[in-house]
Amino acid sequence: MDGNRFLANLKDDFRRGALAQRDALSPESRAGAAMIVAARTLPLELPPGTIVAGYSPIHSELDPFPLMRAFALKGATLALPVIIARDHALIFRAWQPDEGLVRGPLGIFQPSSDADEVDPDIVLVPLAAFDRAGHRIGYGRGYYDRTLQNLRAAKKVTVIGLAFAVQEIETVPRLPHDEQLDCVLTERELIDLRSL
């Protein structure tokens, strides 16, 4: 077994364990954590025109919508990802909390094709597991890694992983294509990695 295959299998094990921890949280705990995260003061500048992209939560993910609303109250423009299935990548479309969403190719809610495509300045990223070095384990399809690599090649982007504290692991096995987070935000703390 080559090194990358070994690391991928190890990531699968960590993913299963962290998702089981996340799934074990009660709906009330998850909702409370989302409100705590939304109330946290973040050390981020929001100049006029800042675009913040979140995501539509699935399964037991931390709900980013309260945090996104908090960004909107500070003047940010909001966006959500749209899956481009053939490319295994994402684009982002502008979205307001009062606007409806449509089901995308994987059943995840996203803005309609009428919404403007935008390039975010801040991206809120879901994850299965994370470590204190800013490495994440996603769901194994690489959508965010490809997308973040393309965004970062074009502009400065701040990437914030949203998670519950129980999703932290000691060390995430890292593959060459894995993109690093700038911050990790949980209900317990903000881990800011931008100055490291």
Residue 146: pLDDT above 60?
yes
Q: What is the mean pLDDT of the chain?
A: 90
Q: Which residues contact 164 (CB under 8 A, 6 or more apart)?
A: 21, 22, 25, 30, 33, 62, 186, 187
Q: Would the annotation count 139 as a binding residue?
A: yes
12 has binding-site annotation: yes
User: Annotation-wise, does 130 bind a ligand?
Assistant: no
Residue 2 counted as an annotated binding residue: no
Nearest to 28 by CA among 187, 137, 162, 185: 187
The answer on whether 142 is annotated among ligand-binding residues is: yes
CB 71 within 8 A of CB 40: no
- Distance between CA 128 and CA 142 in Å, rounded? 13
Q: Is 61 annotated as a binding residue?
A: yes
**Residue 55 is labelled as binding a ligand:** no
CATH number at residue 176: 3.40.50.10420
Inform me whether the pLDDT recorded for 1 exceeds 70.
no
Does the pLDDT at position 162 exceed 60? yes
The predicted model gives 71-95 an average pLDDT of 90
Domain count, the chain: 1
Q: What domain range includes position 16?
A: 3-41+48-192
Residues 9-35: what's their mean pLDDT?
89
131 is in an annotated binding site: no
Q: Is it the case that residue 6 has pLDDT exceeding 70?
A: no
- Tell me, yes or no, if the pTM score tops 0.95: no
Whether residue 141 is annotated as binding a ligand: the answer is yes
143 is in an annotated binding site: yes
Q: How far apart are the first and last CA of the chain?
A: 34
DSSP sequence for 19-57: HHHHHTS-HHHHHHHHHHHHHSPPS----TT-EEE----
Q: What percent of the chain clears pLDDT 90, i.e. is strictly above it? A: 65
Whether residue 11 is annotated as binding a ligand: the answer is yes
Neighbours of 133 (CB within 10 A): 14
Give residue 106's pLDDT: 79
Give Cα separations from 150 to 86, 92, 154, 168, 180 (angstroms): 16, 12, 7, 26, 13
Alpha-carbon distance 12 to 39, whole Å?
Answer: 33
Do the beta carbons of residue 97 and residue 52 sit within 8 Å? Answer: no
